[in-house]
Structure 1
Amino acid sequence: MPWLQIKLDVSPENAESYEDLLLAAGCAAVTFTDQADQPIFEPDLGTTPLWSNTVLTGLFSADHDLDATLNFLQQAHNDQFPDSAFPTCKTEILEDKDWEREWMDNYQPMRFGKRLWVCPSWKDVPDPQAVNLMLDPGLAFGTGTHPTTALCLEFLDGLELNEKQVTDYGCGSGILGIATLLLGASHVTAVDIDVQALTASKDNLNRNGLTEDRMQVYLPEQTPDHEADVLVANILAGPLVELAPTLSKHTRSGGQLVLSGLLAHQEEEIREAYGNDFILDPVSEREGWIRITGIKR
């Protein structure tokens, strides 16, 4: 069965009001998208900013009366915003698809460095002799498609990881920590503020035939007080600056630090935060995102 859509061009100031109106009209789901390619890379903690030109989309069942809903929206707009024009509006029929299947079909195995492949758990591996990480990202961030994850995976592929102790701070799907295990690390401490991420990490660990004693997961306040040979953190600049003392404490002298989730213009603040404790390398950049590595003094 197809679906019906109403798309409204709204401003951040009135977006929530129109969302409430769509839901009151019987909308099954509401989404916000960017109309003008305006990135919001790192919002303040606890905020959910919208773009200057936001498209608000309401999804309705095929038998819904869109004309009645449009009349309802127009009347509500006249009551709430009498001094402004009704937003640009478009209605569409949305083709019925198995959207989960379509996403799965489009997610292909990816190679990082010389040895490592990240493969969707529902696909055959392209090279059975390679180091193959089987991944189902589920509800947690981290598939290898984002430049920051790719930068980290490529660096880890080039490290000598045999028998190393690794900490993956901000583990998400567990992709980085599991990669180090498959590349020879002996144990990973995986840390995240999101309980769903910890669940996804354990699921992906099992999916790769690794036992739970190889990678143990923790919320930050539960993290064991030990030092890693390799610490990787693919988060964002703000949290990384705040976490500098913590991440330094959890890295042994001579240990390897791998930081990403960073934009090119954020390099200096990261160097200021970590430069006293680490000898930092030149950055590696991809699509405006960077990776910073270094050795603990």
Structure 2
Amino acid sequence: MQYIKVTFTFENIEDYQKDLLINDLAENGFNTFEDTATGFSAFTDFELYSQVNLTAVLSQFEGEFSYTYTVEEIEGQNWNEEWEKNFQPLIISDECYVRATFHEAQPQYTYEIVIDPKMAFGTGHHQTTTMMMQYILQTDIPGKTVLDMGCGTGILAILAGKRGASKLVAIDYDEVCYQSTLENIALNNIQNIVAICGGKEAIPADSFDVILANINRNILLDQIPVYAKVLNSGGHIFFSGFYESPDLGMIKEACTEFNIVYQDHKKIGDWVAAHFIKN
């Protein structure tokens, strides 16, 4: 499969500006981001790339920071080789060890997850994924039914499965993410995850005890009414992929209409993950 790689070089960008740019790129079809010494690279499917959309995104930051960028076509395998050179294992809350297939196992950790993300987002290294994994480790998951929306590599569903969830559904609209999730489910030998390629329309007419939604603010606001229909009373919902201000307030307000009540939130850098319960 062909991909587009856009490599940005910055002179005076702040961390929060970089995060805002990445968020806007994600809303325009870019699904993987890789830090470089002078900026970052953003990846998208060849068919999804639009120079017009990229120019429109960048125009919003006119005058805020200096940048240059290059655009190139790449093969997926080329990107995987570059990723393997830079990917390092990750430890979450001293309990969960995330590694790739080419790293050695570390059986001293309670949970070990093997992830081969290919072009899909979600190795645990991004702050949003880290915070969602922390919530999963802190939550009563055994025996619960779990929905993972915007599953990326399937890492959140896999961790919930390892923690004893009884049934899991993992959904992503991106075909690459869907295929990556299937591969990672097999790598981790989790038998009870159903992976689906689609959006909110693909959510089964079922009920769930826990919903995990690490996407972005606009998609979350659009999908909250659907989450409310399938979340059991007393069920937990964890959101991430947004900022504390103004995003968290907007999500709180949207949830209030469905009697989904804010409990607490985590913050790493400018990113936030938040915990709600349906009354």
AA of the residue aligned to 1:42 = N
User: In 2 relative to 1, CA 222–100 (structure 1 residues): closer, same or farther, beyond 3 Å?
Assistant: closer
Q: Between Structure 1 and Structure 2, how many residues are aligned?
A: 230
Tell me, which stretches of 5 or more residues in structure 2 are unaligned?
Answer: 29-52, 73-77
1:240 aligns with 2:253: no
CA deviation vs aligned residue, 1:225-270 (integer Å, no higher than 9, x gap): 1111100000001111111101111211111110000111111101
Matched residue, 1:169? 149
Work out whether residues 196 and 202 of structure 2, in 8 Å CA contact, stay in contact via their aligned partners in 1: no
1:288 aligns with 2:263: no
Q: Quote the Cα distance in structure 2 between the aligned partners of 1:118 and 1:238.
A: 29
Q: Mean alpha-carbon deviation: is it higher for 115-124 or for 152-161?
A: 115-124
Q: Quote the Cα distance in structure 1 between the aligned partners of 2:149 and 2:69.
A: 35
AA of the residue aligned to 1:267 = L
Matched residue, 1:65? none
Q: Secondary structure at the match of 1:258?
A: strand
Q: Quote the Cα distance in structure 2 between the aligned partners of 1:197 and 1:232.
A: 16
Matched residue, 2:114? 134
Matched residue, 1:62? none
CA deviation vs aligned residue, 1:109-168 (integer Å, no higher than 9, x gap): 212124222111210122345210110111111011110000000110111211111000
Aligned runs of 1:233-272 on 2, under 5 Å? Answer: 233-265=213-245, 266-272=247-253
Aligned runs of 1:1-297 on 2, under 5 Å? Answer: 31-35=6-10, 36-37=12-13, 38-39=17-18, 40-43=21-24, 46=28, 47-48=53-54, 49-50=57-58, 52=62, 53-57=66-70, 101=81, 103-211=83-191, 213-220=192-199, 221-265=201-245, 266-276=247-257, 277-297=259-279
Q: Quote the Cα distance in structure 1 between the aligned partners of 2:171 and 2:262.
A: 23
Cα distance, 1:99 vs structure 2: 7.7
Cα distance, 1:101 vs structure 2: 4.9
Q: Quote the Cα distance in structure 2 between the aligned partners of 1:198 and 1:99.
A: 18
TM-score, structure 2 normalization: 0.75
TM-score, structure 1 normalization: 0.71
Work out whether residues 150 and 215 of structure 2, in 8 Å CA contact, stay in contact via their aligned partners in 1: yes
- RMSD over aligned Cα, in angstroms? 2.3
Work out whether residues 234 and 277 of structure 2, in 8 Å CA contact, stay in contact via their aligned partners in 1: yes
Larger radius of gyration: 1
Q: Quote the Cα distance in structure 2 between the aligned partners of 1:42 and 1:250.
A: 27
